[in-house]
């Protein structure tokens, strides 16, 4: 298998994949992880539950970074109940233990000639389709809350699509862990800080074993965005000098997310969520059924409450997409814009 080999996966969209307003982020991240795991098992020529370390212990995927994006003219409400999604995925391996996955997906087939233009992560941003970029390593169940990565024994015995350099997501992960800085999104330089009260912007979250844990007994990587969103929602509802209504907060939809994982937590833990938020006013556009009335930029960090260890950090661009018939929400959005323009 070569580095340029693209796999194809299919997903029939149903109610488990949807929220009001279209395709949900969490089930898509779960599906990306499942597709990535299938691709790794194919490289190893083994079932997923047979992948083992050099010492013979069963391995699990440990997500290191995740980036998910939509082109500016696309939205999640394009994908409704009954849609058939085509995912194209390419896998690369670095140093026998770090794996990169590049994804394009859409509701129509993605031709091979289009895939030829995608060589690196940054090529995804220039395309016209929804995309994702993930990196991960492998851990044993006993090391599930730590950071020690293992090498799959099968990766030492078989030819692999080897990457010539460290994946971009791994290099960024190292830089973010050392500096705390996540590179900003292009096109959002004019974002204004949202005026909030002087209380520390920290929210406590209790791990829910029924929904938050994975097979290894630690927080499922796909749940982290939802956990972060709970803190972001509370920030907008409780800490702004002019809090937003719940219906308006519900109109937020992820346009672009960069997420880095550093550690994990088990069921006995509580988490602390720290939130910073800025707002970017909308650009002029023609009237439409759903209006994009600006973008919220969230920098969100999750720590273990017991020892303060940083678990994950994310920079997220969420579009404020308000249905044109919701007059009260359009009016509330105009008030928000007016207040921020006065502050400028």
Q: Which pLDDT does position 198 carry in this prediction?
A: 83
Ranges of residues in the chain with a pLDDT under 70 are 1-4, 143-147, 187, 189, 341-344
Q: Are strands 202-206 and 252-261 parallel, antiparallel or unpaired?
A: unpaired
Q: Is 287 exposed, middle or buried, given 0-12, 13-18 or 19+ CB atoms closer than 10 A?
A: exposed
pLDDT, tens digit, for every residue of 153-171? 999 999 999 999 999 999 9
Three state DSSP letters for the chain: CCCCCEEEEEEECCHHHEECCEECHHHHHHHHHHHHHHHHHHHHCCCHHHCEECCCCEEEEEEEEEEEECCCCCCHHHCCCCCEEEEEEEEEEECCCEEEEEEEEECCCCCHHHHCCCCCHHHHHCCCCCEEEEEEEEEEHHHCCCCCCCCEHHHHCCCCCECCCCCHHHHHHHHHHHHCCCCCCCCCCCCEECCECCCCCEEEEECCHHHHECCCCEECHHHHHHHHHHHHHHHHHHHECCCCCHHHHCCEEEEEEEEEECCCCECCCEEEEEEEEEEECCCCCCCCCEEEEEEEEEEEEEEECCCCCEEEEEEEEEEEEEECCCHHHHHHHHHHHHHHHHHC
Q: Which pLDDT does position 239 carry in this prediction?
A: 95
Q: Which two tokens stand for residue 333?
A: 């959005």
Q: Which two tokens stand for residue 299?
A: 């920098």
Q: Which two tokens stand for residue 182?
A: 């996540």
Q: Which pLDDT does position 287 carry in this prediction?
A: 74
Domains (range + CATH), the chain: 1-179 (3.10.129.10), 182-344 (3.10.129.10)
pTM: 0.94
Q: Which pLDDT does position 342 carry in this prediction?
A: 46
Whether 32 and 134 have beta carbons less than 8 Å apart is answered as: yes
């Amino acid at each position: 298998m070569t580095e340029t080999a693209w796999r194809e996966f299919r997903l029939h969209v149903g109610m488990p994949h949807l929220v009001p307003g279209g395709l949900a982020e969490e089930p898509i991240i779960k599906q990306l992880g499942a597709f990535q795991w299938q691709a790794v098992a194919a490289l190893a020529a083994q079932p997923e539950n047979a992948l083992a370390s050099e010492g013979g212990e069963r391995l699990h995927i440990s997500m290191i970074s995740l980036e998910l994006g939509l082109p500016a003219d696309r939205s999640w409400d394009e994908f409704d109940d009954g849609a058939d999604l085509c995912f194209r995925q390419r896998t690369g391996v670095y140093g026998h233990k770090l794996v990169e996955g590049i994804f394009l997906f859409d509701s129509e087939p993605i031709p091979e000639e289009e895939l030829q233009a995608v060589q690196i992560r940054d090529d995804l941003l220039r395309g016209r389709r929804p995309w994702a970029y993930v990196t991960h390593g492998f851990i044993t169940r006993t090391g599930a809350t730590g950071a020690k990565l293992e090498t799959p024994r099968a990766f030492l015995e078989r030819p692999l699509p080897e990457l010539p350099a460290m994946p971009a997501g791994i290099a960024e992960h190292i830089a973010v862990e050392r500096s705390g800085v996540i590179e900003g999104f292009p096109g959002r330089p004019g974002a204004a800080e949202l005026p909030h009260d002087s209380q520390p912007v920290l929210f406590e979250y209790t791990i829910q074993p029924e929904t938050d844990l994975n097979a290894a007994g630690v927080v499922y990587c796909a749940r982290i965005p939802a956990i972060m969103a709970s803190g972001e929602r509370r920030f907008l509802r409780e800490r702004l000098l002019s809090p937003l209504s719940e219906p308006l907060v519900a109109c937020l939809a992820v346009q672009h997310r960069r997420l880095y994982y550093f550690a994990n937590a088990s069921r006995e833990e509580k988490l602390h969520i720290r939130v910073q938020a800025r707002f970017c006013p909308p650009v002029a556009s023609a009237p439409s059924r759903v209006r994009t009335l600006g973008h919220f930029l969230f920098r969100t960090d999750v720590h273990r409450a017991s020892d303060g260890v940083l678990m994950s950090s994310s920079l997220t661009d969420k579009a404020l997409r308000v249905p044109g018939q919701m007059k009260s929400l359009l009016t509330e959005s105009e008030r928000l814009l007016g207040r921020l323009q006065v502050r400028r």
